[in-house]
Amino acid sequence: MKKQFVILCTALLALCACQKKASKFEYTVDKFYDLEILRYDVPEFESLSLQQKQLLYCLSEAALWGRDILYDQNGRYNLRIRRALEDLYLNYPYDKNTEEFAAFERYLKRVWFSNGIHHHYSEDKFLPEFDQDWFVVACEKASVQYDAAILPVMFDPAVMPKRTTAQDGVDLVACSAGNYYGEGVTQAEAEAWYETHKDNSPEPLWIGLNSQLVKNEKGEIEERVYKVGGLYSAALEKIVGWLYEALQYAENDEQRTAIKYLIEFNETGNLQAFNDYCIAWVRDLDSRVDFVNGFTETYSDPLGITGTWESMVNFKDLAATKRTQLISDNAQWFEDHSTTDPKYKKEEVKGVTAKVITAAILAGDCYPATPIGINLPNANWIRKEYGSKSVTIDNLMHAYNEAAKGNGFNEEFMIDDEIRELYSKYGAMCGDLHTDLHECVGHGSGKLMPGVTKDALKEHASTIEEARADLFGLYYLADPKLVELGLLPNKDAYKAGYYQQMMNGLMTQLVRIEPGKDIEEAHMRNRQLIANWCYAHANGEMEIIERDGKHYLQINDYEGVRRLYGELLAEIQRITSEGDYAAAKEMVETYAVKVNQKLHKEILERYEKLHLAPYKGFVNPVYNLVRNAKGQVTDVTLDFTEGYIEQHLRYSREYSPLPSIN
């Protein structure tokens, strides 16, 4: 629940004018459908010690072994489908220079990108452009064995059409294809089980974080726990093995303790060990190499309880971290001066640590599409008592920005040269700062009232939480405090960020939505909620004007927009603090879901002419151990030449321990 995505919008990335010097590094790898594949550089890797490089290598191996887990969580047929597709790709007996095979290859690449058969962002099932008969005959000729049950799942649009649905008025569990609940389990049954097993202690266990709810032979609900010896054991054994290897290279006792607790959690499934891991991880402030590994974010569970598997290995960007440190050092000031009711504010903001990091490996739910910022842990009581870690991922933002240069987006959608000039000067700076504020202080702000639990807002919790953090960042982006701290160069720079957020939320993020569809993804709902609410409550602060049949945003009063952000922030914090589900539902359904279809059609037509891909993801570098004549490791090197297809085939060949049915 604490991620900031550059699904934050590719519009943002397309807009950002990079502040860094371009290099000869080749960022673009592949492009298909609405997707573009990039590489990311790993600057300053050579500044790491051999011990740090070996630690990073072990953690990267632990990351890659979790890939199958996410596929299975995203849908119980995904591993069967992926393996059949890969087998056919490798053994196809005919000429591959045909449209049928090209369509097949595009579909396979799409499955890899989404870690399954549902779009990684819209979560709608995407259908093959080749027909079922072609697939069946090709598999027969290639001697590919597959489960016939995958055919309707792949080809019938009515079967499992949505990975995670947020549609109001339906059984969210029954109507979602995600594999967090066994067949036949209903939303009412799952919610009743969670209610019965809820931990209401001051330091609660996150019941359901690492388990699948299924029905036993008696029709009773029970847990299948993710652990060694339990569900996903074969993958977790490999992960644990590499975490044990990492222990010998840990930088200090705090990091070593965190890794040991994570090993215990994976070996036993014990949720107390997970809490201990989170606390130890937050307390490790001195290690340069860091990582996320495990069942973390809950967006994909329709009930927002079970975590998807993800990993990101990284190391601190020492120079850039000075920026986020300034923000975290002033976290109490930001909390005290927000527009929220004093009773919802934290009296003492504890342990907010912020840094800028360089991503070294992406895996699970962070790969190929990845966040640009992370704030963890997600447990509110740990954040309150022990603090949190907030990170901005600099080298990924740099890759996005380099790939987006000169693509014509600004010229097409920004209202005039003045705005474009403003954005060219300050857009990237504002984007970085908004991410920092979102992660460093936004998610860590505010408190819940006594008796209010993290799941009080149910299916709307993710949207409301992301809106809360975004609004906190937006409100302070215009504060003179940022100029005083030296984070912005002048009092007008923030306007670039305000224009982008409003334009994106009202208009340009719609390039990610298919015609006739509502918005269901939490981050997109958040951005439209903010923009639509502010627009609906505006009194001359902004307007959408038409020129030559095209619509543009015009902001007339930027300070007025800030007042609107502040008013909405106060209400969103109230909803969160009081656990006001009815108000959350009304807010989301009124402002975040429905799309202006006429405007949507126009935006899609204008965007299509630019030939841009609205979604981007990455291939990872390859890490190689260098050994001397005695077999001792003397260095770790990086290879950036592996292609998109080659990487996924290698991952499936070398890091795929789970059975096809789990």
Question: Greatest CA span in the chain, whole angstroms?
Answer: 75
Identity of the amino acid at 185: V
Ramachandran angles phi, psi of 162, nearest 5°: -135, 130
For 377-444, strand residue ranges (E) read 388-393
**What CA–CA distance (Å, rounded) separates 45 from 498?**
35
Q: Residue 36: in which H helix or E strand, if any?
A: strand 35-39
Residues in the chain, total? 662
Give every CB contact of residue 208 below 8 A, 6+ residues apart in sequence. Answer: 194, 197, 223, 305, 306
Judging by beta carbons within 10 Å of its beta carbon (0-12, 13-18, 19+), is residue 503 exposed, middle or buried?
buried
CA dihedral 1, 575, 381, 372 (to 10 degrees): 30
Residues of the chain with pLDDT under 70: 1-23, 351-352
> Are 423 and 15 in contact, with CB atoms under 8 Å apart?
yes
Q: Which residues contact 256 (CB under 8 A, 6 or more apart)?
A: 247, 250
Among the residues of 95-251, which ranges form H helices?
A: 99-114, 132-141, 150-155, 187-197, 233-247
Name 218's Cβ contacts closer than 8 Å, sequence gap at least 6.
Answer: none
Note the helical H segments in 219-378. 233-247, 253-268, 271-283, 321-329, 331-336
Looking at residue 351, its pLDDT comes to 64
* Cβ neighbours, 10 Å, residue 95: 8
178 Cβ neighbours under 8 A, 6+ residues apart: 73, 74, 75, 163, 164, 300, 301, 302
* Dist CA 479 CA 493 (whole Å): 11
Separation CA 386–CA 378 (nearest Å): 12
How many Cβ atoms are within 10 Å of 259's Cβ, its own excluded? Answer: 26
Q: Could you give the CA distance from residue 499 to residue 418 in angstroms, rounded to a whole number?
A: 12
* Torsion sign across C-alpha atoms 100, 101, 104, 105: negative
Rg (CA), the chain: 24
Q: How far apart are CA 40 and CA 475, in angstroms?
A: 31
pLDDT digits (tens, 9 = 90+) for 70-107: 999 999 999 999 999 999 999 999 999 999 999 999 99
DSSP codes, 605-639: HHHHTTT--SEEEEEPPEEEEEE-TTS-EEEEEEE
Residue 608 to residue 405: CA distance in whole angstroms:
17
pLDDT at residue number 23: 47
CA 498 to chain centre: 23
Burial of 412-431, coded b for 16+ CB within 10 Å and e otherwise, reads bbbbeeebbebbebbbbbbb
Pairing of strands 35-39, 615-619: parallel
Place of tokens 């990086």: 638
For residue 111, what are its two tokens? 């499955």
Main-chain dihedrals φ then ψ at residue 360, nearest 5 degrees: -115, -30
CA distances for 271 relative to 213, 236, 400, 585, angstroms: 16, 16, 37, 31
| pTM of the complete model | 0.81
